[in-house]
Structure 1
């Protein structure tokens, strides 16, 4: 999350990202869900990104 300011402006950036398999097939279950959650949290930790909220559904993750 970026929280910055200039002389006359301030901003705070937040992003909503959705990952979906091809044709939104319902393939995200138990083991795959845990693996994807671990990978995404590690990537965010490396980049210094704070995850505010996350949800994994059977056909997408956001």
Structure 2
């Protein structure tokens, strides 16, 4: 999909519930139009290749509505490092914030 639009994937990392990508988009194309294209076409490809996902993701919504974008200038190396290290950071934060919650009305732990 990226090659078709002339977009170069520089760096990427898959997370359990999202994707980090560092891409180079040609100046003639807007970021929002490329993201709309990428999300729409990749969702269709996923549903075509994995038909069982249609039942898990009702109404064929595979991606969330939004996305985060930032332009890269002189700090490209910082962004590359962030993409590489984000999973380790997320895992460490999850370990630090693991709590057992209790139901204030029943006085017992929620399951």
TM score, norm. by length of structure 2: 0.28
For CA contacts below 8 A with separation 6 or more, give which structure has more relative contact order.
1
Structure label with greater radius of gyration: 2
Which one has the bigger helix percentage? 2
TM score, norm. by length of structure 1: 0.43
